[in-house]
Chain A
């Protein structure tokens, strides 16, 4: 039971970190594409989504593993 609670806390704390990172990366891409100009809106949005997904995939395990290491042992 205690173990599950810790797992949930780790998941919550990790999400609070990797979601902003991924959304931030996606927004940065969208902003760059807008500033460069010449891209159809769909390409801008699609690109931002793809960059967001890749950022999520990269940051999710890294952040979760780090938060888990710092969490108290069950």
Chain B
């Protein structure tokens, strides 16, 4: 991406299959200035990178419109205050039109309103209000303006309603048509059905509203596409329904015309085919939205109102109008509206919705709070730090949306196949027709043959009717509608599921790559370890003679005394090791006084006067130079160093007093994360700039066998490359700026949420919490998602693979059975529904860690409930 490019998520309406995806992508890619395009059928969005100087939103909307689809727009009315004359109108209109995503803006001076037409998701009400504000006026959103989320839900509900209405008409009349068609086979039930219902012209009259009503969408959509040189699933349906209906009309009106006569009317085929296809569309609309529930859940987290304290008074303002620096009050049970830092108050906040952390997190002055989380117990006030699109929640939503709009390599292949399928199917339908017309009918036709799952005999059907029947069935049964949904629906569910557990995949490709990982390289400092040294051991010399000078000192142990002396000595030091000693002493509750004097010895240590005694603290070289003999403690010093710890020597009044060992300690969850990765069969390596001895000591503690030590920051990427050269799929987990090249080099770069922005920017996966076990969660979700993708592709193709030969009459010579067009339509509807329902199963997926935690909690509760009973 160049410096001038922008990214955009453009909604596209009217796509129904993978070939639509290919058409929209091609139309957008052909625009000058558009660099990359990826269209996602499941989200109905096109994700673009483009040069705004060369391509405009209008061009894009026009290009999408040109291939028969549409970029939906929404309307919003703003109340604008401060306008006094016609020039104000021009100013406000100009300011609104400058907002990217606004297509038209009409200001009414008399009413003081601005009617804005915009592309939802590209422009927001907040941006428009800011634009008006910057132009010197004030704008308020009218209450009827629904937000993007509501509009999306409304659009989906409208589609469900529309297809539901169509299904009701086509289904109910289709049922009557079927009863009329099979009147002769109703047996005793005949008495319940009037005979006239079986008349061909009555059946024809009943079928006509189905084809021209609910079925009209297929004809109009396919004609619109054909005019622009594109073909989609609608064309398959339109040809199938149109041929069945057309022949039926001819055979009813002109039974002697030679098309097979009354025995070859396919009214029920046209009626039921339409009904089944619409059934598929309705079920698809019903279930498609559920795969993107995770993103909707995230969007719903954003509180709409914030209690802002201004001039000492509390006022409720829309959350998107909160500004950086505003003081915000949050009461128990309320949501945190934006990100910020607590200034006063105390509470526990439920952050599970963003981090997956099940226990509420305590918040006090100085702690950060995240917008979208839920305040549980107390009240607190905080200063807004990040608002609008900068909040963590907004960025998470953006990341998840981007990931859902992106394409995995496997999906690109599926789309290519589906995109070229339609024309191939029409060619196949032509070949099937020609074969049965010239050869097949003469050689194999049996008047006693019938349709599968139907007692309806083919009887007197002629060569043309029979060939046409098989040709139409091939068209209908070949529809690759489920192929277009197979991958994106699973990816949407997978990215959403991962986000629920605090793992953000930035693209579908990251999921696919993560599912294939063989080796994971962990950065050491700050990733496996806490990233700051702490005191691990205090060793007191047996030679250290010390007499307590006070009651308090008498109660103090020798170790604490040594640590306290060391901490007081280091109190004014800024060296990380010195700070670690101070923290260590404070953690033990030791009281630290000011040293009487302090002197830093660069590169060696420090010396100070504490409680009237001279204290020397530093490395071995310093002690040697000052002539302090630590010979008696050397075995312990060497043992500690072999464990990767840094040893500080402490001498009091020129005599060896003891050792203080300091080390960067492992995060609590690191060993468990590594153990779980090993269980998954993943090879784990650690990369660090530390010397080999220190690195191996840490690796031993955490359970890592492969150590890449003494690697300079700039060489980390090269080490990852070496592993890739061995043919391995490698992930890199890191947190720092120096990890960024390695994160970019790896097949999957995983950045820790507490890490630097550069690392998060570069990584393909972000672990929101500072918990390495989420690497395991990421892998498990990725594997589960790809399993689902493969299952979906199987279900999408298996119907076609089995159905096409059946539809083409391959088995007819042996079985004297053909598949009817309506059964073919039903099979295709079932195919789409199978894929979507299979994807929905992913909603129940839980990573092993969460499952086990839940089971443990359950056992804990059970045992706590059992305990009193046992006592009784």
Contact = CB atoms under 8 A, between A and B. Distances in A.
Does B associate with A?
yes
A73 B300 CA distance: 44
B239 A57 contact: yes
B246 to A, nearest CB: 9
B471 A50 contact: yes
Contacts of B30: 69
B778 interface: no
B807 to A, nearest CB: 15
A47 interface: yes
Given A42-B258, A50-B243, A73-B32, A58 B427 contact: yes
A5 to B, nearest CB: 14
B430 A11 contact: no
Nearest to A67: B229
A72 to B, nearest CB: 12
Interface stretch (B431-439, B607-615, B627-635, B712-720): B431-439
Contacts of A50: 243, 433, 468, 471
Contacts of A31: none
Contact of B258 (A11, A41, A55, A65): A41
Interface stretch (B308-316, B459-467, B657-665): B459-467
Nearest to B32: A73
A53 B437 contact: no
A17 B462 CA distance: 33
B231 interface: yes
B373 to A, nearest CB: 49
Contacts of B259: 42-43, 46
Nearest to B222: A57
B62 interface: yes
B182 to A, nearest CB: 26
A60 B229 contact: yes
Among B229, B462, B463, chain A packs the most CB atoms within 10 A around the CB of B229
Interface string B437-458: 1100000000000000000000
A32 interface: yes
Nearest to B438: A36
Interface string A42-74: 110011001101110110111111011100010
A42 B243 CA distance: 15
B7 to A, nearest CB: 24
B426 to A, nearest CB: 5
Contacts of A41: 258
Contacts of B471: 50, 54
B230 A40 contact: no
Given A43-B258, A47-B433, A61 B229 contact: yes
A47 B235 contact: no
Contacts of A29: 434
B426 A58 contact: yes
Given A7-B66, A50-B468, A50-B471, A57 B226 contact: yes
B464 A61 contact: no
Contacts of B258: 40-43, 46
A73 B34 CA distance: 14
B464 A43 contact: yes
A50 B259 CA distance: 12
Nearest to B468: A50
Interface of B: 30, 32, 62, 66, 225-231, 235, 239, 243, 257-259, 423, 426-427, 429-430, 433-434, 437-438, 462-464, 467-468, 471
Interface of A: 3, 7, 11, 14, 29, 32-33, 36, 39-43, 46-47, 50-51, 53-55, 57-58, 60-65, 67-69, 73
